[in-house]
Amino acid sequence: MLYTSTGLGANDEAYKNIVNKLKTEEGREAAYMEIKKICDDCRPSSPLKCVEFCPIWELKREHRELFKAIDNRPSFTKLVNTAKKDVNLKILDILAGEPKSFDELVNELEDEGCDRRRSANHYFGPLVKVGLVEEKQGLYKITFKGKVVYNFLRESEPSKLPINFKGYEEKILRSLLLGSKSLDQLVEIVPKTLLYRSLKRLENRSLITKSNPSGRIFYFATKKRPTRKLTPIETKLFKALTREEMSVRELSERIGISVGKVYSLLRRLRLKRHVKKKKKFASYRLTDAGTSLAQSLNILNSLI
């Protein structure tokens, strides 16, 4: 029996399932993703081990053209970002009615500044390349995928859909469907250098909201009752902290003393080990509008 370094053999049930999926058009992408995961997790001692002993490597070699086509297929982000450009959305709008020739399309796009002397590839190439439009016998026609994307953009108010070439805002929205996330969690989705800008754009469009200011310090009591003698004002502050975590400003307002005095008291209570502090970072969650848009993005992704 042949085995990969991950233990998957040519006679194993998992391997046979992959082979069966490759025989059907709807199962090929799932099979490709399984193969990709196996190879990503595999740590052969030598590349020659793959060539000589791995049945998965043989499948990759046999179906290399298919896998290359899947790898080169436009991403969800690229599809949406291509479609939501004003001129491209206008083209989809025209073709949603009926197929058009190049001349007919240019005539209807004159208000968008289209120049008849430029090539069809210049205007319609991006849409054809990502599979939203197809050209047959001189006529341009919207594809099924194009209709799905077009209908989504029309129904979900494209002006509310954040515009970013990398699709970072869309990724944030879809990730927040699973629940609120901190900055540390969101950094795993969007590069830190671009995260704050993306979050600000989403906040400005009222698609997400921030639960608390970033980096605030909160204090809390470590015990229910003090084990050392406290002054009356220390006792008052300590009792305030036994009910809930509070910031310095909140404590100042609660017990009616200055912020400076609160800092001094907290320092003394921390030395007596009755109080600790922790830093809370902002977490973000979807608004109702953000939830609706994120759900629509998920539906669109599953359709295309």
Q: For position 162, what pLDDT does the model report?
A: 55
The pLDDT score that the predictor gives to residue 160 is 58
Beta-carbon count within 10 A of 80 CB: 22
160-212+284-303 CATH choice from 3.40.50.1820, 3.30.110.30, 1.10.10.10, 3.30.1490.20: 1.10.10.10
**47: burial class by Cβ within 10 Å (0-12, 13-18, 19+)?**
exposed
Print burial letters for 187-205: b (CB count within 10 Å at least 16), e (below 16).
Answer: eeebeeeebeebbebbeeb
Query: Is the pLDDT confidence value at 111 over 70?
Result: no
CB within 8 A of 185, min separation 6: which ones?
Answer: none
Pick the CATH number of 76-155 from 3.40.50.10860, 1.10.10.10, 3.40.228.10, 1.10.10.60: 1.10.10.10
Question: What per-residue confidence (pLDDT) applies to 126?
Answer: 83
Chain-wide mean pLDDT for the chain? 79
Q: Which residue has the higher pLDDT, 226 or 137?
A: 137
Has residue 247 got a pLDDT over 60? yes
For residue 161, the tally of other CB atoms under 10 A from its CB is 21
20 pLDDT more than 80: yes
What's the pLDDT score for residue 3? 43
Q: What is the pLDDT of residue 69?
A: 65
CB atoms within 10 A of CB 69: 12
Contacts of 249 (CB under 8 A, 6+ apart): 259
Which tokens is 125 given? 């190439």
For the whole model, what pTM was predicted? 0.51
pLDDT at res. 70: 61
- The Cα 124–Cα 101 span in angstroms is 11
Cα separation, 159 vs 201, whole angstroms: 12
CATH topology of domain 216-280: Arc Repressor Mutant, subunit A (1.10.10)
Domain definitions of the chain by residue range:
13-72, 76-155, 160-212+284-303, 216-280
Assess whether pLDDT exceeds 50 at residue 109: yes
**What pLDDT was estimated at residue 9?**
56
Q: What is the pLDDT of residues 187-199, one digit of tens each?
A: 888 888 888 888 8
| Whole-number Å distance between alpha carbons of 205 and 139 | 39
Q: What would the mean pLDDT of 30-49 be, rounded to a whole number?
A: 74
Q: What is the pLDDT of residue 1?
A: 37
Please report, as a single letter, which amino acid is at residue 29: E
Percent of the chain surpassing pLDDT 90? 2
CA angle 181, 193, 218 (to 5 degrees): 45
pLDDT of residue 2: 43
Structure-token pair, residue 209: 């909201």
- pLDDT for position 152: 80
Tell me if domain 160-212+284-303 and domain 216-280 are identical in fold.
yes
Q: Is the pLDDT of residue 107 over 70?
A: yes
CA separation for the pair 149, 301 (Å, rounded): 9
- Dihedral Cα 165, 170, 175, 179, nearest 10 deg: 140
pLDDT, mean of residues 231-240: 87
Q: What is residue 123's predicted lDDT score, i.e. its pLDDT?
A: 73
Higher-pLDDT residue of 132, 42: 132
Question: For every residue of the chain, which 3-state class applies, written as one string?
Answer: CCECCCCCECCCHHHHHHHHHHCCHHHHHHHHHHHHHHHHHCCCCCHHHHHHHCHHHHHHHHCHHHHHHHHHCCCHHHHHHHHCCHHHHHHHHHHCCCCEEHHHHHHHCHHHCCCCCCCHHHHHHHHHHCCCEEEECCEEEECHHHHHHHHHHHHCCHHHCCCCCCCHHHHHHHHHCCCCEEHHHHCCCCCHHHHHHHHHHHHHCCCEEECCCCCEEEEEECCCCCCCCCCHHHHHHHHHHHHCCECHHHHHHHHCCCHHHHHHHHHHHHHCCCEEEEEECCEEEECHHHHHHHHHHHHHHHHC
